[in-house]
Each structure stands twice: as C-alpha cells, then as structure tokens.
C-alpha cells in the first residue's frame, strides 16, 4: 500500500517547488521580494464587470446549480466576440462551451479524447498543462520545436513518419507562454493543411489573444478555412479582463471535440457560478476600452523591464505579446541552470522569476519574467538585478553609462 498511485507516478517533481520554498522563506524573514515569477494579473477587474457580478449575485435565483456548458447568453457572447474580432462565425449551441478557465478545458478535453498509449505533439517549452493534461490521461508526449515557423512544420512531418502510434493531436499556443512567440495567419494555414492531410486534431490555446504590442495582431486558427474540421481553440477572460481568479474560459470550434468536452464535463461539474457567467457576458458585450488600457499597461511595463535589463548588460528580447519576457540566462550563470540561477537571483537581488526548466527540458537556459508588478516595482527590480549582475562581472553596455536613471528604468 506504499506504492505511489499510477497517474501520480507519471508526474515529475514540481520544478518550481524549490524556488517557491526559497521565496516563502525569504518573506518569512521579512525580506522584500519582488515576485515576477507568477503569471497572475495584479490589476483590478474593470468596474462594470464587478458591478454586474454584484447585481447578479443579489438575485437568489442565481444561487443554484448552473449548467456545465455555460448559460446560453454567455455562449452567444463568446460567438459574438469571435465574429467581431476574428470574422469567425460560431454556432453557440454546438461549437462553443464555457470552461472553468482555459486550463480546466484543456485538461478535461485531454481526458475525453485520449486513450492510453496515444501520441500527442506538444511544443517544448510550453505551459505545463499542455503536456501534463495528456500525460495524466495516459498519452505519450512527443516534443516539437516551439517556434511558429518552418522548423516546427518540418518537425511535425518527421513526427508523423516516425511516431507509433500515429499522433492524434497537436497543441499550439500563440502568443505563447512562456516564450512570447506570436504566429500569423499564414503559419496557421500551413498548420491546418498539415493537420487535415494527416487527420490530426489541433488544440489551440489563445489565452493571450488581446495582449500584443506590435503590428501583428494575434489571429485565431479558426479563421483559416476548413480549420473547424480539425481544430478547437481555448480562450480565457483571465488576462484580457484581469479576471484570473474568476475562472472563466471557453472552448470553440470543431463540433466533435466540443461535444466530447461537453459530455465529460457534464459528469464532472455544474459549471461556473451563474453570477460569474453573467458578469462574463458583461465583459464580452460591454465597452472594450478597458482591454486597450490593459494592453497599454503591459506594453509600458515591458518597455520599463527591457530597458532596465539591457542597461545592466542582460540582453533580453523584447516580447511582442503575452505578459512575459523569455530571458536567456546571462553567460556567467549558464552552467548552473535555470533553477539554481533563479534561486541565486532571489537570494542576492530579491527578485523571483520562473526557471525555464519548469516549462520543459528545452526551456533550460532561460527564465520567464512576468510583467505582473507596477512600473515603480519593475524599476526597483531592474536596479536590484543590475547590481546583482555587476557584482558577478556582467558589464553594462558603454552607451548606458551616460544616460540618466529615469531613461533606463
């Protein structure tokens, strides 16, 4: 009776645990830790959404069980969003389901469509649920490159030729967590053509659809003609409207996949609390200036973070989307790996980041830095990091020496 349970045995030790423990211990000692390791929005939910929740929760009729598929008005609101934003028409009765955040939807769809021994194609590095949802369900995962380009497409072709059994599904996530990569519609067209030819399902995670900073506006894979034959897409209100704790997400697309998710969820839950669903309708159908404001806030934070790190000699690429920077570990620290580097940065600079190893073996050599503090705290963090880097012999670029502090961070 001491042997570990089968599904638990398939899960490796939690990579983030040692960093989280060090963070908790530092705070217990009274140290001021700037936590950039979590992807937890720190801004309040827009007031009109909160007000709709308050209004709805005061109705006793809303206190009973809801429906796991989502109330009709919410599914119609999501279909309306897809038509406005992506020019994609969805049937709210057969092609849309509400989920308890996109993470729950991904995990339950994995359980619904996976047989033990199935092969699933997952980018590496990627958000952990993308692979572990299927691993828990009994599948084998084959890693592919995470970049939305010919490298991924060639790897997919090889995977189909050399995987036994043939892969049944592919996960994609753009804008990506943790890498912040963005994909364009042309890439999705090639991906859809490949999946239709090989009869492979695509599960697209579009949780960061509205957080982008450049000219490339993230598209939906469902905008590709024929995509609904093989694809389902997950979205979330967590980042778009700063509603992470509300746990409101969606799946949309292929009727067969939506039907499978609907059926399994009907056995597992009664859906989100009805007032939360009503407030989610207000978010999707209400004024959208708050979305632009949230996007501008993350862009400002990105600029502060990247300028401050560059001034210290840490050449971190500027992300074009998501709420993260994917940072290669500076040269003097490369050999220690992402976990030990994260712990050292926490100890000496008081800044917490997420080790790249936690997102897959190919995340080693990187850390993920979240844009989850205000600009003042980000400036404080970059000053501390610059001091840390300088103490270890990392030199700032010559041009930064003459610039005033206010420009740099």
Each residue of 248-293: pLDDT tens digit? 999 999 999 999 999 999 998 888 999 999 999 999 999 999 999 9
The alpha-carbon radius of gyration of the chain (Å, integer) is 22
Tokens 């949802």 correspond to 133
E strand or H helix at 205, and its extent?
strand 201-205
Q: Mention every residue, 6+ apart, whose C-beta is less than 8 A from residue 295.
A: 210, 211, 212, 213
The pLDDT confidence band at residue 404, using thresholds 50, 70 and 90, is very low
**What's the CATH code, domain 6-44+289-392?**
3.90.1150.10
Residue 403's pLDDT is: 44
Burial (Cβ within 10 Å: 0-12, 13-18, ≥19) of residue 331: exposed
Tell me the pLDDT of the chain averaged across its residues: 93
Domain boundaries for CATH 3.40.640.10 within the chain: 47-286
The CA distance from 112 to 255, in Å, is: 14
Residue 5's pLDDT is: 81
Domain boundaries for CATH 3.90.1150.10 within the chain: 6-44+289-392
Per-residue b or e along 161-175, where b marks 16 or more CB atoms closer than 10 Å to that residue's CB: eeeeeebbbbbbbbb
Phi then psi for 254, rounded to 5 degrees?
A: -50, 125
> In this predicted model, what pLDDT tens digit does every residue of 88-134 receive, in sequence order?
999 999 999 999 989 999 999 999 999 988 999 999 999 999 999 99
Fold category of 47-286 in CATH: 3.40.640
């Amino acid at each position: 009776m001491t042997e570990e349970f089968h599904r638990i045995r398939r899960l490796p030790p939690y990579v983030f645990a040692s960093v989280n423990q060090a963070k908790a211990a530092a705070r217990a000692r009274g140290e001021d830790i700037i936590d950039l390791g979590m992807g937890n929005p720190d801004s309040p939910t827009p007031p009109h959404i909160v007000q709709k929740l308050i209004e709805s929760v005061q109705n006793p009729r809303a206190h009973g069980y809801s429906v796991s598929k989502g109330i009709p008005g919410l599914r119609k609101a999501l279909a309306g969003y897809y038509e406005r934003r992506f020019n994609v028409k969805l049937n709210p009765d057969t092609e849309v389901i509400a989920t308890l955040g996109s993470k729950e939807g991904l995990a339950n769809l994995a359980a619904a469509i996976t047989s033990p021994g199935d092969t699933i194609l997952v980018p590496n590095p990627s958000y952990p649920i993308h692979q572990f949802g299927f691993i828990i369900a009994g599948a084998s995962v084959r890693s592919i490159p995470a970049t939305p380009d010919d490298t991924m497409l060639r790897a997919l072709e090889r995977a189909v030729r050399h995987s036994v059994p043939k892969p049944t599904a592919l996960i994609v996530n753009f804008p990506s967590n943790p890498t912040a990569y963005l994909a364009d519609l042309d890439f999705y067209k090639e991906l859809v053509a490949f999946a239709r030819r090989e009869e492979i399902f695509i599960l697209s995670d579009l949780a960061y659809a509205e957080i982008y900073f450049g000219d490339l506006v993230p598209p939906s894979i469902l905008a590709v003609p024929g995509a609904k034959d093989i694809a389902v897409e997950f979205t979330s209100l967590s980042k778009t409207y700063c509603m992470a704790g509300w746990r409101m997400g969606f799946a949309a697309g292929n009727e067969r996949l939506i039907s499978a998710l609907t059926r399994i969820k009907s056995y597992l839950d009664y859906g989100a609390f009805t007032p939360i669903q009503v407030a989610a309708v207000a978010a999707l159908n209400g004024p959208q200036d708050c979305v632009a404001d949230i996007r501008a806030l993350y862009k400002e934070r990105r600029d502060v973070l990247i300028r401050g790190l560059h001034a210290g000699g840490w050449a971190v690429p500027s992300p074009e989307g998501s709420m993260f920077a994917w940072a290669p570990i500076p040269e003097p620290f490369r050999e220690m790996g992402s976990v030990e580097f994260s712990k050292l940065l926490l100890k000496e600079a008081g800044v917490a980041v997420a080790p790249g190893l936690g997102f897959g073996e190919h995340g080693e050599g990187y850390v993920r830095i979240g844009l989850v503090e205000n600009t003042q705290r980000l400036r404080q963090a970059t000053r501390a990091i610059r001091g840390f880097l300088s103490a270890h012999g990392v030199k700032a670029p010559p041009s930064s020496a003459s610039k005033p502090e206010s420009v740099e961070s």
